[in-house]
Structure 1
């Protein structure tokens, strides 16, 4: 995929984003279009994380530039293990036909990352990370379908996402685990983005809410972390 630097600069100025990040978002959109045309990827993956929150609920205030998925095609471990090589081959084939150089992380317990390298319109090397988690195979709530934002006339892909309760709970848990500025920024917007589920018992159960104390309790790798969920 080749993009025009002058066009990217114009769009970046119009939307007030950095050129490199905007180019990456356009590339994410192009990949999601291609993923949606592959039955295994379309039916087997649900988008989650910052990209889902920032690109799939209207014009973004922040650009998230990776693709994070849950594998959900089968609940059973045996079928998941059978699907994993073919699913990753499908991602690799799509990426290579779009002129990306594909490298894979080592096979970890939760899943694998694919790094899609490319030469940006500016001439500098860059990459997109595609992260597939194979542990969270059973969605907590029904998935949703959303249109992903793209600048200008670039095609806006349809994407299947984890449900809003799961999306919001995942972001709150990421904030407690990493305490990263980007997670805090996204979390502040959740009461508005997730307003139809924010105060429901189902959502508070999904994010480990303690009704007695009003606290969000997340048990991460270093022990329980507590924050406010009201």
Structure 2
């Protein structure tokens, strides 16, 4: 396990809180453990903003949780998941000395807004900062009611820290499908991180978005969840815009040192939708 000094140096370099950097480091090892766990390898597909950071763009916004679509219905069992993740915690500890206490690993089922069963996991950790008091936690969001449009891909996990022999992979959404889910999410829940990711992804020169693949995935995903396919007019009419603007700093400032205003990102949406529907 890296030391506290390395965390502090990375925090200074990125102009972010040390706790954000420590969690980023811990996420890497938890993700590696998931990728190495044979019961999960073929059935868990990593997605969302953390997937972009960990597997597609190393220099991207920092994140706090792990989102997976799970294709095996047998895994929809909190007791089973607790057993699997205690084993993953043991593996991580053997690899690097990073501890996820077994008595602070929990999984709870709940009905998501669509009325379908989902599971949220929480894992506390004892990382390089060695803080006193309650251990910080990582959240896992697991969903089974999601349509996979494209075949998953195996991607290497970026590791910017000094641990030796970190060479692990995890199964992920393709980037076009992540982009499509972000667009759909903007009309489902109107969260700051979705707006940020849409504009940042669209403008990122490190990839060239395949418009037809993005649009096809978006239409299928919206149909699957009976959600209207997003347009600029629909997004502008959504009631959650004021909440998004109000929550912008609170939700993102600890993840991105040079954030920019929400208005800046909102004003870029016409360009994205024009590209999507008027090539």
Same fold (TM > 0.5): yes
| Structure 1 residues 223 and 165, CA gap change in structure 2 (3 angstroms) | closer
Which residue, out of 72, 85, 91, partners 1:91? 85
Higher share in helix: 2
Which residue, out of 102, 122, 141, partners 2:150? 141
| Structure 1 residues 7 and 16, CA gap change in structure 2 (3 angstroms) | same
Q: Residue 131 of structure 1 aligns with which residue?
A: 141
Looking at structure 1, the residues matched to 224 and 118 of structure 2 have their Cα atoms a distance apart, in angstroms, of 20
Shift of 1:194: 5.4
Shift of 1:110: 3.4
Higher share in strand: 1
Looking at structure 1, the residues matched to 81 and 157 of structure 2 have their Cα atoms a distance apart, in angstroms, of 22
| Structure 1 residues 9 and 128, CA gap change in structure 2 (3 angstroms) | same
| Structure 1 residues 99 and 4, CA gap change in structure 2 (3 angstroms) | same
Query: Alignment RMSD, CA only?
Result: 2.9
Looking at structure 2, the residues matched to 222 and 42 of structure 1 have their Cα atoms a distance apart, in angstroms, of 30
Q: Residue 150 of structure 1 aligns with which residue?
A: 159
Shift of 1:218: 8.4
What are the within-5 Å matches in structure 2 for residues 72-221 of structure 1? 72-73=71-72, 80=73, 82-85=74-77, 86-95=80-89, 98-100=99-101, 101-108=104-111, 109-120=116-127, 121=129, 122-123=131-132, 125-136=135-146, 139-154=148-163, 155=166, 157-191=168-202, 192=204, 195-197=208-210, 199-200=211-212, 202-208=213-219
Shift of 1:220: 7.4
* Equivalent residues of 1:29, 1:157 under 8 A apart: no
3-state SS of 1:106 partner: strand
* Equivalent residues of 1:164, 1:194 under 8 A apart: no
| Structure 1 residues 91 and 222, CA gap change in structure 2 (3 angstroms) | same
Runs of 4+, deviation exceeding 6 Å: 217-224
Gaps of 5+ in 2: 94-98, 236-269
TM-score (norm 1): 0.78
Looking at structure 1, the residues matched to 84 and 176 of structure 2 have their Cα atoms a distance apart, in angstroms, of 29
Shift of 1:119: 4.3
TM-score (norm 2): 0.66
Looking at structure 2, the residues matched to 156 and 23 of structure 1 have their Cα atoms a distance apart, in angstroms, of 19
Does residue 7 of structure 2 align to residue 4 of structure 1?
no
Gaps of 5+ in 1: 74-79, 210-216
Looking at structure 2, the residues matched to 177 and 184 of structure 1 have their Cα atoms a distance apart, in angstroms, of 12
